[in-house]
Amino acid sequence: MTQTLLQTYKQPNHWKDGDKLEKTEVVGKEEAHERGLLHLSAHLLIIDSQNRILSRKRKSDDFRYADLWTSTVGTHVLIENDYLSTLQELLPIHKPLEFIGEFRVHDDWENEINGLYIMRANEEDLSQAFLNDKKFFPKEELNNLVQRNKTTPHLKGGLELIMLKVFKTDNA
């Protein structure tokens, strides 16, 4: 059985989008979570021509964040990879990605710096198999889900970032 290895980073006292991180040790994914070590995660939000955001519903038996809505695609960044190379391996279709920025998730389960990308695509561009556990939401409906604690902190952080950087002229 191959162990999933993550690069971990020194815990910054204060962190903001774009700050450089200092590498520490390489450990297995579960050890990183058990010890609360800072690591990287890559996330993608697909936005359609109506500015709806595609969100994925986590399974009810997921250990972390069961039954919550989350980013379209999210995954840990393995050693020797970066946000973009990690996401490109998981893309449902090959369209341009736009880097939006980074945000931090630090709770009982995760201690991550998350790199967020968006892709512009419509439902008809995506396979039915890919859409199985996903739904396009208007921004207002996603904000409502955030307010009701029905989203992961990853979707909440990603949504806050795209509201600032993508939809900033949009009165959203």
19-72 pLDDT, tens digit each = 999 999 999 999 999 999 999 999 999 999 999 999 999 999 988 899 999 999
Among candidates 153, 155, 43, which has minimal Cα distance to 106? 153
Give this prediction's pTM: 0.92
- In the chain, the number of structural domains is 1
Q: Identify whether the C-beta of residue 6 lies closer than 8 Å to the C-beta of residue 39.
A: yes
| Residue 170 in domain | no
Q: Identify whether the C-beta of residue 86 lies closer than 8 Å to the C-beta of residue 42.
A: yes
88-126 pLDDT, tens digit each = 999 999 999 999 999 999 999 999 999 999 999 999 999
CATH number at residue 80: 3.90.79.10
Domain that holds residue 67: 5-165
Q: Identify whether the C-beta of residue 72 lies closer than 8 Å to the C-beta of residue 52.
A: no
